Structure 1
Amino acid sequence: MTEKYKIYLSEDTKSRLINDAELFEFTKNDESVNLNAFLKTLIVNYFDQYRHDSDSLLANIMQDLSELSSISKKDAAFLADKIVSTYIKADRHQSGKNSALTLTVSGSSYEILKIIENNMLAETSLSQYLKDMFNAYLSIPRSEREAIIFKDSYEDISRALKEHKVLSFTTTTSGDNKAYYVEPYIIAPSKEEQCNYLLCFDRRAKKPRTFRISRLRSVFVTSDTFAVNPDIQEELREKALRSPHSVGLTVQAVVRLNPYGVRKFKAITKNRPLVSKIEGDLYYFDWPELQLEEYFKRFGRDAIVIGPESLKEKIRKFYYYGLREYSR
């Protein structure tokens, strides 16, 4: 069964939902953002949590109010509902411009909307209920929102971590549906991106790897178990604290920053490496080489790598081949 619903969202809410859909790679065949598919997944994976959290909040407020001897239970229930609608869901009273959106649902998302229609709309519309749900979702940190959208993957990964089972999956970045077989060790959030990463040991490549969980597909817990390697576990724990999105070779690097480079270093915070020490215009790092390469590619002449030679050569080649293409 498929049905279409028209809902109304503020421009800010719609924009933020589109940003999540884009970050979590919900796309159509033409690579444009598939907001409808994202919202269907959000509704299916978040409905139970939203309903539970809303009921708990209302019950807690009612209990606090009921403890006041001057307020009856009926008045406490009225005031609790008023507090939630006025202060917690204040967006519903704003007069800003709303944007109409046609939501096409089927399967599980259709069933949940029918449950909402039949049981949850005593004093509100379906559009407003969904708007409140989406705003509640957006109030959660992005790393937790990712766990909601990819609920099934998180549950499988968590079980594999607990039972020390080998995981199999493909990724959206492999390009050829290559299957990975890994020994999972840690799930860690990246402070800059607010995404979560699976730090693991790749059985085929025989080396530590990291994968952004929102890019995993066809996650499967195999029947194979593995023995935890204390050395690998300690290495990945250290990486998880510093740079979970990069578990490559750590190098001791020295980079010379001119005044413009210093300004850029302060301004460009995404995936910024931690400084070990500063001596004049020289900045020292003890950090994964790949992350240093990707970070300082954005600086141009304002950051010159002094060492190691391998990092210096990679960035030199990056600019050399770029210049060659632009000179044609």
Structure 2
Amino acid sequence: MTEKYKIYLSEDTRSRLINDAELFEFTKKDETVNLNAFLKILIVNYFDQYRHDSEALLNNIMSDLTEMTSISDADAAHLADKIVSTYIKNDRISSSKNIAVTLTVSGSSYDIIRIIENNMLRDTSLSQYLKDMFNSYLSIPRSQRESIIFKDTYEDIEKALKESRVLTFTTTSSEDDKSFAVEPYFIAPSKEEQCNYLLCCDARTRTPHTFRISRIRSAFVTSDKFEIDSELQKELQGKAIRSPQSVSKTVSAVIKLNKYGVRKFKVVTKNRPLVSKIDGDLYYFDWPELQLEEYFKRFGRDAIVIEPASLKENLRKYYYYALREYSK
């Protein structure tokens, strides 16, 4: 069964949902964002949590009201619902323009919509209920939102972690649907808590690896068990705390920043490495080399690598080939 519904969202809500759909790589064949597919997954995976949290909030407010006053249970319930609608879901009275979004549901998402229509609406419309649900979802940190959207993947990873079992999967970033077999060790959020990463060991090559969980597809917990490598576990634990998006070797680096580089270092916060020491215009780092390379690519001549030689050479080549292409 397939059904279409028209829902109305504020420009901000729609924009933020599109941002999540894009980050989590929900795309159509033409590579445009597939908001409908994303919303269907959101509804299915978040409905139970949203319903539970909403009921718990109302019950807590009702309990506080009846304990503090002689108000009846019925009046407390009415007042609690009004408090939530006025102060927590206050976008209902917002003057911002609403945008119509057509939601096409089928299968599990259709079943959830039917449950909402038959049981949850009371004094509100389906459009408003879904809008409130989406705003509740957006109030959660993005790393936790990722765990909602990829709920099945997280459950498989957590099972593999708990039972020390080899996990197989493909990723959206690998070519030719390459399959990976890994021994999982940690799930860790990135420094800015934008995404979560699986830190693991490749079961075939015995090398450490990291994967963004939102890019993992077709996860499968195998029957193969593995022994925890305590040395590798300690190494990956350090990576999980500092920079889970990269398990490349850690290097001692010295980078010279001019005044514009210093200014950029203060404002470019995404994946910014931690400084070990500052000596005048020299900045010292003990950080994964690949992450240093990716971060300082954005600085151009405002950041010059003094050492190590490998990092200096990689950035030199990066700018050399870029210049060669622009000079054609």
Q: TM-score, normalised by structure 2?
A: 0.99
Residues 174-193 of structure 1, C-alpha deviations (whole Å, 9 max, x = no match):
02110000000000001225
Determine if the alignment matches structure 1 residue 165 to structure 2 residue 156.
no
Q: Report the equivalent of 2:279.
A: 279
CA distance in 1, matches of 2:5, 2:191: 37
Local SS of the residue matching 2:154: helix
Q: Report the equivalent of 2:319.
A: 319
Q: Report the equivalent of 1:35.
A: 35
CA distance in 2, matches of 1:78, 1:298: 55
Q: Report the equivalent of 1:130.
A: 130
Q: Report the equivalent of 1:154.
A: 154
Q: Report the equivalent of 1:303.
A: 303
8 Å CA contact 1:44–1:109 kept in 2: the answer is yes
AA in 1 matched with 2:58: L
Q: Report the equivalent of 1:211.
A: 211
Structure 2 counterparts to residues 258-297 of structure 1, below 5 A: 258-297=258-297
Local SS of the residue matching 2:166: strand
CA RMSD of aligned residues (A): 0.7
Q: Report the equivalent of 1:237.
A: 237
Determine if the alignment matches structure 1 residue 113 to structure 2 residue 74.
no
CA distance in 2, matches of 1:177, 1:29: 16
Q: Report the equivalent of 2:63.
A: 63
Equivalences, count? 328
Determine if the alignment matches structure 1 residue 199 to structure 2 residue 199.
yes
Q: TM-score, normalised by structure 1?
A: 0.99
Residues 187-222 of structure 1, C-alpha deviations (whole Å, 9 max, x = no match):
000122521000000112321000000000000000
AA in 2 matched with 1:215: R
8 Å CA contact 1:7–1:102 kept in 2: the answer is yes
Local SS of the residue matching 1:272: coil
AA in 2 matched with 1:308: P
Local SS of the residue matching 1:188: strand
Q: 1:184 to 1:56 in 2, by over 3 A?
A: same
CA distance in 2, matches of 1:28, 1:175: 18
8 Å CA contact 1:193–1:270 kept in 2: the answer is no
Q: Report the equivalent of 1:74.
A: 74
AA in 1 matched with 2:122: A
Local SS of the residue matching 2:177: coil
AA in 2 matched with 1:165: R
8 Å CA contact 1:189–1:196 kept in 2: the answer is yes
The ranges of structure 1 where at least 4 consecutive aligned residues each deviate by more than 3 angstroms after the TM superposition are none
CA distance in 2, matches of 1:131, 1:137: 10
Local SS of the residue matching 1:67: helix
Residues 121-142 of structure 1, C-alpha deviations (whole Å, 9 max, x = no match):
1100000000000000000000
